[in-house]
Amino acid sequence: MDLPLLIAFLGTTLLFVATPGPSVAFATAQALKHGPRAAVIAVAGDALGSAVHIIVAVSSLTALVALSAQVLPLLQILGGLFLLYLAWQALRAAPRTDAPATPPANRLTFWAGFFACVTNPKAIVFFMALFPAFISPDHSMLVQSLVLGAIFIALDAASILAYALLTLHAVRRSTGRWLRPDRLSAFGLGGVGLAMIVKGVRALP
């Protein structure tokens, strides 16, 4: 590994993950609705999305990049519709003050987290434009890709979880009966879903 490049990558990644995006909004909404475990599942889906970005970035295949540019708007629209569906489910759920939180839909949460990451334009720019720049031609590309990819996924997951859990803790401490976490979750999911749909529609050819 090239130490100066590694240090530069760490600094760039920390700045990138410190800025909240769709993945943070989604994981936070899931934490408010279902608790910390749902946030962890959402982060796992986000990690898979990051892995896809890394594979495409280091492969440097023009065909894959062109294909992703064509398919991305459709994925954004589908992912946004999926998040709107989850928001609708959250809104129509009957209030239960004494019952425990509804168990999260693990697969739905996981794949929604994946879509929130893999269709994030900021992540695409990061991996396409910046990630290859931190790989030195003097060392093994595979080893560097694995190390840098693992570092990014770990820092990104820690940042998303921190945002989600801190928000959940703040809401539980500061809100009373007048504000329901499931309503906050629904509005958060709906906002992210609408944003993804708008971006997808604008990017359509």
Give the whole-angstrom CA distance, residue 167 versus residue 156: 17
Tell me the domain boundaries of the chain.
Answer: 3-203
Tens digits of residue pLDDT in 101-132: 444 556 788 888 888 888 777 777 777 767 77
Tens digits of residue pLDDT in 7-45: 888 888 888 888 777 888 888 888 887 888 888 998 999
Taking 70 as the threshold, does the pLDDT of residue 169 lie above it?
yes
Q: Give the residue among 146, 149, 79 at the shortest CA–CA distance from 112.
A: 79
Q: At what angle are helices 62-92 and 36-59 packed, to 10 degrees?
A: 170
More confident residue, 99 or 36: 36
Summarize the confidence of residues 66-90 as an average pLDDT: 68
Q: Does this model's pTM top 0.75?
A: no
Say what the pLDDT of residue 155 is: 92
At position 43, the amino acid (one-letter code) is: V
Share of the chain above pLDDT 90, in %: 6
Quote the tokens at residue 142: 């595979």
